[in-house]
Amino acid sequence: RPMRLIASALLAGVALLGAACGDDDATGDDTTTSAAPAAPAACAEVYPAGGGEPEGPDAVEGRGEPEMEACEPAGELEVIDQVEGTGAEVPEGGTVTVHYKGVAAATGEMFDASWSRGDTITFGLNEVIPGWTQGLVGMKEGGRRVLVIPPELGYGNAGPAPGDSLVFTVDLVSVS
C-alpha cells in the first residue's frame, strides 16, 4: 500500500509538471511570452563621473584599456570626467598625446583603440572630429574623460558607426 501511494504521488507530480510546462496544441498557438531586451542605460549612468583623487600623467599607463559597453546618448555632446588630472590643461587648438578607445553607442562594439596598437597618439585639436575638438578643451594631464559624441559632431552617416553616437574613453598623457 505505501508503494501505491508513492507511485500515485509521482504520477500526479509528473502530470502537474507537464501542465505547468505547457505544450503546443495542434493549432500551434504558443501562449508563452518572452521579455523584451532591456534598453541600454543612459551614457552618464554607464560611465559615471569619478569621485576619487585627482591623478597625474604617470597614472595613465597603469590604468590600462577601459571596459566599455552600449549606452543611450543624450543627443548632445556629453563630457564625463571619470578621473580628474593634475597636470597642464588642454587649450583651444592645443596638441595632445592620448590613449583612447572608441565604441559605437548603440552596440558597445569597439572600432578603434590606441591600446590595441600598444602606443599613444599625438594630434592637434584642429585635426580631429568636432566632438574631440570641443570635448578635450579644459581636460588636464593625467585625466580620464569619456566623450559621448552625437553623429553631427562625429562622422555623421559615414565612418565606423554610421548614424550612431560614438563613445570614447580618453586618457590624457600630455599637452604641448
Q: Quick count: other Cβ atoms within 10 Å of Cβ 81? A: 16
Q: How many DSSP H helices and E strands does the chain contain?
A: 5, 6
100 is catalytic: yes
**Type of residue found at 86:** T
Which residue is catalytic, options 80, 149, 168, 171?
Answer: 168
Which residue is catalytic, options 80, 100, 149, 164?
Answer: 100
129 is catalytic: yes
Distance (Å) of CA 161 to CA 117, 121, 165: 20, 21, 8
Strands (E), the chain: 78-83, 95-104, 110-113, 121-124, 144-149, 166-175
Which residue is catalytic, options 24, 30, 111, 123?
Answer: 111
149 is catalytic: no
111 is catalytic: yes
155 is catalytic: yes
112 is catalytic: yes
* Residues taking part in catalysis: 100, 111-112, 129, 155, 168
